[in-house]
Amino acid sequence: MLADYAVRVEQSRGRRYPEPPHPYRDDFERDRDRVLHARAFRRLADKTQVFTRRYSDHFRNRLTHTLEVAQIARTIAGQLRLNVDLVEALALAHDMGHPPFGHAGEKTLDAIMRTHGLYFDHNLHALRIVEDFELRYAGFRGLNLSFEVREGIIKHSRDYSATDHPELAEYLLESKPPLEAQLIDLADEIAYNTADLDDGFEARLLKIEQMRSGVPIFARFLQEAEREYPNSIKKLQFNEALKRMVNYLADDLIRHTQQRLLAAKVHSLEDVRRSAARLVSFSTEADNHRRQAKEFLYTNLYFSDALQPEKEDAEKVISELFSYWICHPDSLPASYQEKAREEPLAQIVCDYIAGMTDNFIYEQHRKHGLSR
């Protein structure tokens, strides 16, 4: 049974374009399925998470990472008695706005857009995808998702100001998002803080002793695994430590959020929306462990010398293609040329690039004679 503070589908603010109810799926289930069947969702399979395929086919990409986030988020939502269907829809959609080449691609696109007086934000781009870019239905553009899913797409990881973003006024910017949306960002952190340790170790860019000294919570669980399974190979002991790390962070998030809800006397969705701060959170101890893992990954993996050539390549490919289409807008696909009559050309070029997979953007780079 849902908690009193959970989002109830029967109280949804509805879709932008009214549709008749489905005979055996509610609106949040349909939203989840629409995201799952979207072209932008499928493209996540060929977008970099941290490692490109030159390292291994076994490493996470945006799609496999998204599925891991969804699994963690569903589990936590169930324990908090939240609306699991809404949580799953948001988890599956949370990375759809990311461009090719991971965070390097996002950083490059944003820097280029700022030279045009604009900017790139993957949450807002995801909203543009589900509102406009996806073309699957005869009755409307986009996926026509329910209000709560669209709200969660833009508000799951940050709060937007109504002054800075008047175009988002309908999304109750003065209010906190439902717990279902608040949960997604922290489930995301649990997923990538542990998965990136795993992939970094598999890529031989991170060593066990490095992680022992730099990530205390990992060291604790690895010591437990070594003591409990002394005859297991090192990789299985390593896997056991990561599993326990995921469990520790998820358990803490559940327990501490329950305590916060009780202390704040939250009894309804409106109580959640009126709260002064977000209510889904780790304890101080677990948050310190989360932060230490994140800082370790930034220092030793994300900004490592081994990954620098790929970041530089991503910056070069995106920058050169962006400049090419700004100078040759007639080379854009017809649909984008049409959109450029209504919006700034830089925005249209950005939208086109942001939707590309790693493979397709390299193909376009070669096609237009920019590779050398």
Whole-model pTM: value is 0.95
* Beta carbons within 8 Å of 235's beta carbon, 6+ residues apart: none
Kindly calculate the radius of gyration of the chain based on its CA atoms and give it in whole angstroms: 22
Query: What pLDDT does 246 receive?
Result: 98
Q: Contact 8/83 with Cβ under 8 angstroms?
A: yes
Query: What pLDDT does 58 receive?
Result: 76
Q: Contact 173/160 with Cβ under 8 angstroms?
A: yes
- Dist CA 103 CA 48 (whole Å): 9
Q: What is the pLDDT averaged over residues 197-222?
A: 95
Q: What digits encode the pLDDT tens for the residues 248-277? A: 999 999 999 999 999 999 999 999 999 999
**All domains of the chain, ordered by start, with CATH?**
9-308 (1.10.3210.10)
Q: What digits encode the pLDDT tens for the residues 303-362? A: 999 889 889 999 999 999 999 999 999 999 999 999 999 999 999 999 999 999 999 999
Q: What digits encode the pLDDT tens for the residues 127-167? A: 999 999 999 999 999 999 999 999 999 999 999 999 999 99
Encoded tokens for 40: 């932008």
- Give the DSSP letter of residue 6: S
